[in-house]
Chain A
Amino acid sequence: MNLSRSRIRGIRQGLLVTLGKGEWTVVLETLEAQFAENPAFFRGGRLALDVGGRALAYGQIEEVRSMVSRNGVEMWALLSDNDETQDAARASGLVVELEPPREPEPKEQEDASKATDEAKVVRRTLRSGQTVRHPGHIVVIGDVNPGAEIVAGGDIVVWGRVRGLVHAGALGGEDAVICALDLAPTQLRIGNYIARSPEERLERAVPEMASIRDGQIVAVPWPGE
């Protein structure tokens, strides 16, 4: 595992990026490369950056911030154990603490694949303008209304109606699936594939599962024939 790679996971307020180890410029370049690997996942997102004990000057914070925003991501918080870094972050207008207070660091820091297997459960209806973004799977118990967005690194399961935009496999997983009791999204994306719902709605909604088959997104009713 490349130590300079940053660790990315979903939190309530968006994404939490724990900066990798090593020389500042290398770590920064690596992070930018990580953005470039899966631009669709990151674009339009917001992140909190955890720099650990690193001492950063105001200029360095502005540097990382502009790199982040160049990649279509808003950096709204900077977390650090270092007092000087915290002061510089405040001067830069960044939030320096998550609410509720910073979660303890998970133990298996290096095991990125494990973090991606975690599912996030959302027990409410997602309304217009609301976004859920998570590197693992996302389960929604409720509806996804028009104008709402779900972006998951893994699969998406919705126990309800899907009318908004859903993007599964946004970290490049083309084997990701999207399941819903009533699947009629504005737009449906899996990996780099994009599909729209057919214009005419089914008379009666049936549960469906969408996946990539032979190079296109296909939704199949459940249970099948």
Chain B
Amino acid sequence: MTGNGTEARVVTVTSGKGGVGKTTLTANLGAALAMRGQRVVVVDADVGLRNLDVMLGLENRIVYDLVDVIEERCRLRQALVRHKHLSKLWLLPAAQTRDKTAVQVEDMVDVCGRLREEYDVILVDSPAGIEWGFRYALAPATEVLVVTNPEVPAARDADRVIGLIEAEEKGPARLIINRIKPKMVERGEMLSIADVVELLAIELIGVVPEDQEILVAANRGEPLALSRDGSLAGSSFHNIARRMLGEEVPFQPLRDRGVFERILRFVSPERS
């Protein structure tokens, strides 16, 4: 139990397929949740290929990492890196010089269990794939966010991953559709949100439009969610954070009325 009397959550962000924007999303969601007063740790579980630290602009502050904690070369507290601007956002970095065999399922469960005592939300950024890294990233989860793109291969992999999550009884798994390009959907060149939700049949918690600013911000090490510029993409991260905290937030129009109506049509029965 945490100070504010609610059970801390361990939220694993996963996708199956690589390159769908998991890490960017984790960084932005972590920032958005911390900006709403949550005490947040983002855990980079991608041992050997870390980059959550880069996206948060914290690379040069890392002293210890997850594997150091597991192998007891440091205390958990020592490995946590506080964000430059957000006092409630912390990073537990991955080791860069080791590989995923350095982490056991019990290690992740133990580390996340200890983090739960002092934080409200532990966001675990899962490695791509369905192998070892995915297994240990999933093990501590109390809930799961499945990230996909509106493309057939990404949706297929998301489906596979949801099957594995269900088999491990690690739900509820909720869906984030990342990098939607409204114009392509209109032209019928991309799967629509409705297509993806029909296939995957889990609750939709967010839709993030494709936006170059997300990438520009990540390269700068400042997640877009930090800048309150009112951009569609930036506010979509905040909307996901709000929905995670139990608020009812309507899905925003992505560009024009046509797409908006298409989204509403299938969302409304879900949320009723």
Residues of chain A having any CB pair with chain B under 8 Å: 124-130, 143, 145-147, 163
Which residues of B (157-188) have their CB < 8 Å from a CB of A?
A: 157, 159-160, 162-164, 166
Q: Which residues of B contact A124 (CB under 8 A)?
A: 166
3 pairs of A and B residues whose beta carbons are closest in the complex: A127-B163, A128-B160, A128-B159
Q: Is A147's CB under 8 angstroms from B160's CB? A: yes
Please indicate the chain A residues that have their CB under 8 angstroms from the CB of B166 in the complex.
124, 127
With CB as the reference atom, state the residue of chain B lying closest to A126: B163
Residues of B within 8 A of A127 (CB): 159-160, 162-163, 166
Number of chain B residues whose Cβ lies closer than 8 Å to a Cβ of chain A: 10
Mark out the residues of chain B between 15 and 29 whose CB falls within 8 Å of any chain A CB in the assembled complex: none
- B130 nearest CB neighbor, chain A only: A129
State the CA gap A129–B165 with chains docked (Å).
13
Nearest CB of chain A from residue B213's CB, rounded to whole Å:
33
Q: List 27 A-B contacts (CB under 8 A).
A: A124-B166, A125-B201, A126-B163, A127-B159, A127-B160, A127-B162, A127-B163, A127-B166, A128-B156, A128-B157, A128-B159, A128-B160, A128-B163, A129-B160, A129-B163, A129-B164, A130-B163, A143-B201, A145-B159, A145-B199, A146-B156, A146-B159, A146-B199, A147-B156, A147-B159, A147-B160, A163-B199
Majority-rule SS of A interface residues: loop
Nearest-neighbor residue (CB-CB) of A161 within chain B: B198
Name B's interface SS.
helix
In the assembled complex, the Cα of A127 lies from the Cα of B168 at a distance in Å of 14
Q: Which residues of A contact B157 (CB under 8 A)?
A: 128
Closest to B202 in A: A125
Q: How far is the CA of A120 from the CA of B201 in the complex (A)?
A: 23
In addition to A125-B201, A127-B159, 19 A-B residue pairs with Cβ atoms within 8 Å of each other are A126-B163, A127-B160, A127-B162, A127-B163, A127-B166, A128-B156, A128-B157, A128-B159, A128-B160, A128-B163, A129-B164, A143-B201, A145-B159, A145-B199, A146-B159, A146-B199, A147-B159, A147-B160, A163-B199
CA gap between A124 and B167 in the complex, in Å:
11
Q: A130 contacts which chain B residues (CB < 8 A)? A: 163
Set of chain B residues within 8 Å of A143, measured between Cβ atoms = 201
Query: Using Cβ atoms and an 8 Å threshold, which residues of chain B touch A125?
Result: 201
- The distance in angstroms between the C-alpha atoms of A130 and B157, with both chains bound, is 12
B interface list, Cβ under 8 A from A: 156-157, 159-160, 162-164, 166, 199, 201
CA distance A130 to B159 in the complex (A): 10
Chain B proximity of A165: nearest CB distance (Å):
13
Per the bound structure, the CA–CA distance linking A124 and B201 in Å amounts to 11
Q: For A128, what are the chain B residues with a Cβ–Cβ distance below 8 Å? A: 156-157, 159-160, 163
**Complex: A147 Cα to B199 Cα, angstroms:** 12
| Chain A minimum-CB-distance residue to B16 | A128
Nearest B residue to A145, CB-CB: B159
Question: Which single residue of chain B is at the shortest CB-CB distance from A130?
Answer: B163
- CA of A119 to CA of B156, assembled, Å: 29
- In this complex, the member of A125, A127, A129, A146 whose beta carbon has the largest number of chain B beta carbons within 10 angstroms is A127
B138 to chain A, nearest CB (A): 15
Bound-complex Cα distance A126 to B166 (A): 11
Name which residue of chain B comes closest to A146, CB basis: B156
Chain A contacts for B162, CB-based, 8 A: 127
Smallest CB separation, B203 vs chain A (Å):
14
Contacts of A145 in B (CB 8 A): 159, 199
CB distance from A86 to the nearest CB of B (A): 28
Contact partners of B156 in chain A: CB under 8 A:
128, 146-147
